[in-house]
Amino acid sequence: MKKILPETCLEMLRLAATDLPPDVEQVMRDAARREAGGTAASAALGILIENIAMARAQSRPMCQDTGTNTWWIRHPENMSGRVIRSAVVAATRKAVKAGFLRPNSVDSVTGQNSGDGTGLLHPVVHLEQWARADLALDLLLKGGGCENVSAQMALPDVSISAGRDLEGVRRAVLLIVQKAQGKGCSPGVLGICIGGDRATGFAAAKEQLLRPLRDRNPDPLLADLEKRILAEANTLGVGPMGFGGATTLLGVKAVKAHRLPASFFVTVAYSCWSLRRAHARISRGRAAFAREPFVHKGR
């Protein structure tokens, strides 16, 4: 596994950057058919869909902002986390050199670009041991524009009459979407965490972006919440790139986390339309690539 891990990671980075997952592309195409012909919203979606096809055909990044590569990796107990992180870093450097990723890792104090896509806490790697002999890898590339409009609110919030309940969560999330006004390269996808602390809320919310867009939340209360937020957000009139229209969001995915009695956070990880993911499993010295994540499947 150690020998093929760097090349597997490199191929995952290529796939994520250049080949939009079919579930995301299909939802984009469905949205384009719903928009009125001749409108800015229709034209914007048409351009994005054309861009998706060109990126795939040429194996080139579909967006100039290739984003932060964030990994969720399940590994056997006898495999070193240090070795895994080293493989991810090596693959990131190769991906930059090959043109799949942009050299976009900048020292926050000096402003100096490392030039190879790596740096302190960059890329981001979440490791978890599991009771299996293989490796499961999930990757998300998330651009800076959509990261800028990700947000967290503390409830209650009297300004929007939001209490510490699912109705309050709904109001908070719709406010966050309304404030974004398309700046996150809408139509967007929301990962939501209800509860947790400030740090775990953002981590759990971002992890929700790995879910297929048309899956159903196993928690019926959260499934209903996801459906309602998606429908109501698409009546806000923000639309693709903020041009107006019926497609402000492509999907909504929510999870809950236990919290302290004193805190009730609602955290939204906002993804742009370019929801770039890749998934692979390494078993018995071979890598298999998949279109759906392993992170939410049984362990």
For residue 132, what is the domain's CATH number? 3.30.1330
Residue 242 identity (one-letter amino acid): G
One domain, residues 167 and 66: no
Q: For residue 135, is it within any domain?
A: yes
pLDDT band at 297 (very low <50, low <70, confident <90, very high): very low
* Closest C-alpha among 144, 23, 142 to residue 71: 142
The pLDDT of residue 296 is above 60: no
One domain, residues 192 and 254: yes
The pLDDT of residue 276 is above 70: yes
The pLDDT of residue 13 is above 60: yes
Mean pLDDT over the full length of the chain: 95
Average pLDDT over residues 57-77: 96
Q: For residue 25, is it within any domain?
A: no
Residue 291, pLDDT score: 81
One domain, residues 134 and 11: yes
- pLDDT tens readout for residues 105-144: 999 999 999 999 999 999 999 999 999 999 999 999 999 9
One domain, residues 205 and 259: yes
One domain, residues 226 and 83: no
Domain extent at residue 128 = 5-17+62-143+276-290
- pLDDT tens readout for residues 208-223: 999 999 999 999 999 9
One domain, residues 258 and 150: yes
**Domain count within the chain:** 2
Task: Give the C-alpha separation, 84 to 127, whole Å.
Answer: 9
Q: How much of the chain, in percent, has pLDDT values that exceed 90? A: 95
Average pLDDT over residues 229-254: 97
Q: Are 129 and 73 in contact (CB under 8 A)?
A: no
One domain, residues 251 and 281: no
280 phi/psi in degrees, rounded to 5:
-150, 155
Q: For residue 189, is it within any domain?
A: yes
Q: Are 10 and 92 in contact (CB under 8 A)?
A: no
Task: Give the C-alpha separation, 232 to 131, whole Å.
Answer: 42
pLDDT band at 295 (very low <50, low <70, confident <90, very high): low
Average pLDDT over residues 229-244: 97
Q: For residue 247, is it within any domain?
A: yes
Query: For the whole model, what pTM was predicted?
Result: 0.95
Q: Tell me which of 40-44, 220-224, 276-280, 289-293 is least confident.
A: 289-293
Residue 52, pLDDT score: 97
Q: For residue 24, is it within any domain?
A: no
One domain, residues 77 and 171: no
Q: For residue 57, is it within any domain?
A: no
Q: Are 233 and 177 in contact (CB under 8 A)?
A: yes
Task: Give the C-alpha separation, 268 to 41, whole Å.
Answer: 24
Which value, in Å, is the radius of gyration of the alpha carbons in the chain?
A: 19
Task: Give the C-alpha separation, 186 to 40, whole Å.
Answer: 13
pLDDT band at 1 (very low <50, low <70, confident <90, very high): confident
Task: Give the C-alpha separation, 176 to 161, whole Å.
Answer: 14
Residue 293, pLDDT score: 78
Q: For residue 35, is it within any domain?
A: no
One domain, residues 66 and 138: yes
Q: For residue 54, is it within any domain?
A: no
Residue 294, pLDDT score: 63
* Closest C-alpha among 72, 74, 91, 71 to residue 135: 74
pLDDT band at 298 (very low <50, low <70, confident <90, very high): very low
Strand partners, 124: 70
- pLDDT tens readout for residues 169-228: 999 999 999 999 999 999 999 999 999 999 999 999 999 999 999 999 999 999 999 999
One domain, residues 117 and 178: no
Residue 2, pLDDT score: 76
One domain, residues 81 and 150: no
* Residues 281, 16, 145: CA angle, nearest 5 degrees: 135
One domain, residues 138 and 187: no
